[in-house]
Chain A
């Protein structure tokens, strides 16, 4: 009896603890295309994000917005929303973290510039574009940019094709893209083709950071 009681209590505690530990699961998926912007002297001046949201969230985000043509939104119609977006993102440090020569650099970025939203009416997908300028341009051998949501409400993943581009970088610079490790979750269950293209998005666990590593020897 005592053992049974304890085992039931322990089981209960484990279930609550195990599921409680999972803080969140994403309701927003972002497919990223990133650019690192270089100045003429070879320093990195900023990061240019293009974040495409999943179709469900895109529908949610555009709900109730005024539109001249049904089914699509112009950049101007989306301008107020873009402003709200970048302003709210400040609280989350734009989910963008920089590492220079192996060292974390806190508070590395200025407020976003050149931001706008566009809407792909065919794919019904909303994309947020914005540039995060470095407070001081970074000249370093190794620069790493990570994009992730520590609370995992937003699942960031790189685009399949050309996820990262270096814009006017010095010739010897190379870029590597590291996707989240999903060793823990062998994807055995595929519901439809759509998932095959979003494998990066399903990567979860400790390493859900998407890493861009630039090396300029």
Chain B
């Protein structure tokens, strides 16, 4: 049991470390023009990613120019856009941190994690295209006007992330407190019974990628009428202790419902990336707006792949936590709820940091 507690602590600390890292980065960025500049070398993988994406971004300009006369350059443009997108997701504000934290905090399948990543990345590409199409192509707005528009969208997007985090903290915090109470008052009968190994309903015949914990719906009745649709492509997230308390709001929305992920998609995907806008404007100036649009969406696909990879990892981590938790009694539940609360806090922290401008996102329009 001491080991369990230790691991629970470690997991929570790990999640908080991610948030703390963001804070630390923000702090060093705040250290003023004369401080901390030379003390934080960007090396290793991060530095390499940075160097590469700068290289790819620079290549875009030449390829857009070349596309005017050379049809084959167009394919080069698509290729580089794709690779740039993959590397670009390393930058902040591309939702990777928010999405993975969101996935850690929730019960999600890897398929939904990937869908979430793609939807938010493509929404991001779409926002950039719409802004440039409306502002630049239709009304001939200046860079300043576009910069201001992006800033407004940014504020909305970051506010949504804060709200998303707040909601998660509220929901997951209650779950955590419940688990804490359960641990204090001794394990629940169902959770303490390792012999509950039989599956009760037929829907369980579908593939279980991660959830090999043992369901006993008879022992833990829950309200199917409240929206638990066990579809063929959904993995259910029922845990022995999962329904000891009342159904959580997102469970009411249905495990497979788009509504549940929509808040995350919009919060993350609303904010366009400056790079895409600049590429679009450049393409427009070169008379190749459609090449810019194609490039932006291809970039979006690349970004989505990176975010999806990280999201899958988050889902895998969560699934493992769940499996591990299933082998323990109350403490396992506590661990899981702790991870969730930590992840929820991280979502909110990212939102607050970006909203207050402490965490550098992207800026444009200083020139």
Contacts and interface: CB of A to CB of B under 8 A. Distances in A.
A75 to B, nearest CB: 16
Given A15-B310, A88-B365, A195-B58, A206 B282 contact: no
B51 interface: yes
A124 B65 CA distance: 11
B366 A88 contact: yes
Contact of A19 (B61, B90, B281): B90
A201 B140 CA distance: 32
A204 B278 contact: no
B14 A64 contact: no
Interface string B343-367: 0000000000000000111111111
A22 B42 contact: yes
A187 B363 CA distance: 27
Interface in A185-217: 185, 187, 189, 191-192, 194-195, 198, 201-202, 204-207, 209
B202 interface: no
Contacts, number: 224
B277 interface: yes
A18 B44 contact: yes
Contact of A28 (B14, B48, B53, B367): B367
A16 B18 contact: yes
Report the contact-size class of chain B (Cβ under 8 Å from the partner): 35 or more
Contacts of A5: 7, 11, 317, 320-321, 323-324
Contact of B29 (A10, A106, A151): A151
B51 A57 contact: no
A27 interface: yes
A112 to B, nearest CB: 13
B183 interface: no
B190 interface: no
A171 interface: no
A124 B55 CA distance: 20
Contacts of A21: 21, 25, 40, 42, 46
B213 to A, nearest CB: 12
Nearest to A153: B363
Query: Which residue among A21, A62, A187 has the maximum number of chain B CB atoms within 10 Å of its CB?
Result: A21
B320 A8 contact: yes
A207 to B, nearest CB: 7
Contacts of A18: 44-46
Query: Which residue among A13, A92, A189 has the maximum number of chain B CB atoms within 10 Å of its CB?
Result: A13
B58 A23 contact: no
Contact of A206 (B38, B55, B80, B146): B38
A116 interface: no
Given A65-B142, A205-B47, A25 B323 contact: no
B249 interface: no
Interface stretch (B91-99, B156-164, B221-229): B91-99
B259 interface: no
Interface in A53-112: 53-57, 59-65, 84-85, 88-89, 91-93, 97, 104, 106
Contact of B92 (A20, A54, A59, A202): A20
Given A4-B320, A6-B11, A21-B25, 4 more contacts: A12-B310, A15-B310, A24-B91, A185-B51
Interface of A: 1-2, 4-6, 8-13, 15-29, 53-57, 59-65, 84-85, 88-89, 91-93, 97, 104, 106, 124, 128, 148, 150-151, 153, 155, 184-185, 187, 189, 191-192, 194-195, 198, 201-202, 204-207, 209
30 contacts: A9-B317, A12-B313, A13-B15, A15-B310, A15-B313, A16-B96, A16-B97, A16-B100, A20-B18, A20-B25, A21-B46, A22-B42, A23-B25, A24-B360, A24-B362, A56-B282, A57-B278, A57-B367, A59-B282, A63-B143, A65-B142, A84-B144, A93-B33, A185-B47, A195-B58, A198-B58, A204-B47, A206-B38, A206-B40, A206-B43
